[in-house]
Homo-oligomer: A and B are copies of this chain.
Amino acid sequence: MEPIKETPKTKVKRGPKRAVFDRKVLYQILDEVRISHVGFAVDDQNFVIPMLSWRQGNQLYIHGSRGSRMIKALTEGANCCVTATIVDGMVLSKSAFHHSTNYRSAVVFGQFRLVDDPTEVNDTLKAFLDGIAPGRWEEVRAPTEKELKATSILAIELEEASVKVRSGPANEDAEDFDLPVWTGEMKLKQSMIGMVADDNNQPAVKTPNYSRAWN
């Protein structure tokens, strides 16, 4: 797998030690995050919109209502910035100043393209749904022509990206070492915590187990 190339835009100026060029790390972040924040401008106004996102190969996909302002701007080639962030923990230091956060983040620059090949649309919608609930694509009613027309799928190539990872303890000052203050990491994690059936279920239908998508 090719390492991520550094460009003037992606060069990490703050905390350069945290920069990561391993494409596998970029892929892991995008696979785990589920929601990316897409930044773009319309008439000089910035917008940052949370979008479900999923990765296949070297592309990140999103979908939305065909007529929306955002989908219009993005399909017209707006330069955008897509950011995915996972917080792994709060880093507690002996001094207020050296508190920090352990995180993994990816900032992707580029332009989205409209996915208009029917095979790519079908394959990527299957990958999207199965990534959330493995096997579900085969269980549910497939999209109709009309439903597919109402939805736009967009993809961005993972070409220009800035990936940062922080892990480990706080960077204590030497003179703080002897302070009797607990230091360590407060671990955070997003988990799937349960399946809640709604009223539309037939009594005979059992709750499926999709937990393997959510280790």
Contact = CB atoms under 8 A, between A and B. Distances in A.
A37 B45 contact: no
B188 A141 contact: no
A162 B191 CA distance: 27
A184 B172 contact: no
A30 interface: no
A35 B85 CA distance: 9
18 contacts: A34-B87, A37-B50, A48-B107, A87-B190, A89-B196, A94-B141, A97-B141, A180-B204, A182-B197, A182-B201, A182-B208, A183-B201, A184-B207, A185-B196, A187-B192, A187-B195, A189-B193, A191-B191
A201 to B, nearest CB: 6
A172 B187 contact: no
A46 B205 contact: no
A56 interface: no
Interface string A123-143: 001000100110011011111
A3 to B, nearest CB: 23
Given A40-B46, A46-B41, A97 B205 contact: no
A109 B48 CA distance: 10
